[in-house]
A = this chain, B = another copy of it.
Amino acid sequence: MELHGLNMLGGGPSPLPTEGDGFRALNPATGETLEPVFHDASPREIDEAFTLADAATDHLGTDRERRAGLLERIADALEGLGDALVERATQETGLPAGRINMERGRTCGQLRLFAKVLREGSYLEARIDHAQPDREPIPKPDIRQMHVPLGPVAVFGASNFPLAFSVAGGDTASALAAGCPVVVKAHPAHPGTCEMVGRAIADAIAACDLPAGTFSLMHGAGHGVGTGLVRHPKTCAVAFTGSFAGGNALLQESQKRSPIPFYAEMSSVNPVVVLPGAAAERGDAIAAGLQQAVCLGVGQFCTNPGVVFAVDDDATTAFVEKLGALLGEAPNATMLHAGIHASYVTGQQRLRAIEGVGHVGRDADDAGPGNADATPALFTCDADTFKEHPELRDEVFGPSTLIVRCASVTEIEQVVGSFLDGQLTATVHGTNDELDDAAALVGLLRDVSGRVIVNGFPTGVEVCPSMHHGGPFPATSDSRTTSVGTAAIRRFLRPICYQGFPQTLLPDELKDGNPCEVLRLVDGEWSRE
């Protein structure tokens, strides 16, 4: 596939004028510039993308089976891109081929999972209350409800998962599953990967005979394109994965327009509590697991464990030494781009400048030809230092973590309860006996997070019905929804109530006899009958 570098408008390369001078991707491992040139989408292109998307909404929203087929065909098409996709993605992200292949598997897996969700149909939350014409003092009408698509969705791809959270990632999959056309803002760090995936999606849409306006792809290196997508009057929802600064800036933009659902998954330090018995019993194993979690994807996971709380005792001293040694031995690795690496370096400098914060392990060394190679790092401080310095609660995006030595489990509970912001995840390691007494601590971890993990690690977000990838602000802008797992489809739906409808005008899912065999709440009872 030869990349054209153009924005994609409803299935094909955009014929409209673009904005600005253009930009190229860089290989962060080598510093090499990658062809072709990409151009920021112009206001006309953005407007046309949403006009096409709006026109596609009705058709796309009506046929669950066809949408299920679309999702499966997109998955097939992504697999059909073969090694060419891996090659471009590794060049643009510095991530190894094995990781890209695994991520493609996950991306295709979640597309196919949403196809199952569509066919199963309970996500529609169909409800029926039959009429009671003889009710006194007034008759009860026939009332039925199900969920319908919101309309066109603006999706912002993330840099750290160039497939699973990008053009055909979770937000696109769940929005298309819901029946919403999608306008994707391509991430400027991997525009070629975005184009390849975008063309695969467009081909699948054409093959399924769905409207071309179902999907458009807008490139943009500056802020203007993102602002334009959020503020377009036909945008019915926004889904973003990325930094707090980026998400919060778009949130502010969204507040300048009529209210729409705004879903940003932003920043989290994913606190880990190591209870003293666990530290004594298996401190080395926990250190080994943490080292892996901290270094996974060069620390560029939103679930990276960035703060670890432990009781200041001999076992913790040994645990810190072990973790320091493991991180000290871990090789440098290439981050997604020089900008993220620079932020990582700045973040470490910020920590080191705080009195009471110690650095364990080797100093940062050669950043490589692309100025993007990161050195893993471990920091330590005591609880007072953590309480006094709110900046220690901020995410340092990269292979780094901070151990906070507390006087007691009670102090850990106090810090968790009063000195943490909202988180995607929170983890506790304990012995069986410790866990038996951990209800209060788990309650505190639950209050600040969206997922609580026992004796595990937060990285590795399983894609399944029970996954919740969300959490209180600033982890996300809306703690009520998830960006991973089947419940994500709910982000892009709203209920509609049909009152007094003849059978012919009802959607099939709400007709008498349940021809679609979906789960429905009929006169207060759940049933597929």
* Chain A residues near B (Cβ < 8 Å): 58, 116, 122, 125, 127-129, 138, 140-141, 143-145, 148, 150, 251, 255, 258-259, 261-262, 432, 435-436, 438-439, 442-443, 446, 449-456, 460, 462, 464-468, 470, 472-474, 477-482, 487, 493-502, 504-505, 519, 521, 524, 526
Q: Are A499 and B453 in contact (CB under 8 A)?
A: yes
Q: Are B145 and A467 in contact (CB under 8 A)?
A: yes
Closest B residue to A473 using CB positions: B258
- Give the residues in chain B near A452, CB-CB below 8 Å: 496-499, 501
Q: Are B150 and A479 in contact (CB under 8 A)?
A: yes
Q: Are A465 and B524 in contact (CB under 8 A)?
A: yes
Q: A258-B473, A466-B129 known; A497 and B450 CB under 8 Å?
A: yes
- Give the residues in chain B near A129, CB-CB below 8 Å: 462, 464-467
Closest B residue to A102 using CB positions: B137
Distance between Cα atoms of A298 and B499 in the complex (Å): 24
Distance between Cα atoms of A116 and B500 in the complex (Å): 26
Q: Are A500 and B465 in contact (CB under 8 A)?
A: no
Give the Cβ gap from A103 to chain B, nearest Cβ, in Å.
13
Q: Are B127 and A451 in contact (CB under 8 A)?
A: no
Give the Cβ gap from A14 to chain B, nearest Cβ, in Å.
26
Q: Are B466 and A145 in contact (CB under 8 A)?
A: yes
Q: Are A505 and B438 in contact (CB under 8 A)?
A: yes
- Give the residues in chain B near A262, CB-CB below 8 Å: 259
Q: Are B526 and A519 in contact (CB under 8 A)?
A: yes
- Give the residues in chain B near A460, CB-CB below 8 Å: 138
Q: List 23 A-B residue pairs with CB atoms under 8 Å apart, sorted by A's residue number.
A: A122-B521, A125-B487, A127-B487, A141-B456, A144-B466, A145-B467, A251-B259, A255-B255, A259-B473, A446-B496, A450-B494, A451-B497, A452-B498, A452-B501, A454-B505, A465-B521, A465-B524, A466-B521, A468-B495, A472-B494, A481-B495, A487-B495, A519-B526
Q: Are A435 and B480 in contact (CB under 8 A)?
A: no
Give the Cβ gap from A51 to chain B, nearest Cβ, in Å.
14
- Give the residues in chain B near A140, CB-CB below 8 Å: 462, 464
